[in-house]
Structure 1
């Protein structure tokens, strides 16, 4: 049985560049009023990030500028979605707000 080797840093860098381009194009599409399918985004991104975490520290640090660029592209897409479709996104509640609400409902059910 052979253990698969993790992707090379160059392959991860190429994938991050493709992801950045996809996010940038998606932001432009949202701003132009076009539909964007983000359904599989998390499923696609997680293996890339997991692979980056599996790299030796020096190689992983070299990817930081690209990772930061991807984060910026995600933030720009998020901003565009809020600006264009904010009234349809169901509010801006945070994860912590949902957790507090769930805890409050739990207490009222127990009491």
Structure 2
């Protein structure tokens, strides 16, 4: 017997969106701590590196969650495939933001170093 969670299940949709937006809210909280509260040590001595690692870890976590959706369905008979696209887009979004943050905070948009590092 399969338990189907359709898109009209408001509680589960809310939980999925909460999971997807949690890292973004945590980043905004860190920005608030640094800019408005004055806690300049919130991200540690290297804030750029901390932000890049934070975004990369969440991108990998969402990617692993997307990969695990099928085995979860096989083990528990809960239909999660309608939500895999949403979580996959979150993985792509956080991966893209991670790469952009790396170029911005670590490389400083110095294109000669970027192309030299790739060659």
Assess same fold via TM > 0.5: no
TM-score category (smaller protein)? 0.3 to 0.5
Question: When the two structures are superposed, what TM-score results if normalisation uses the length of structure 2?
Answer: 0.39
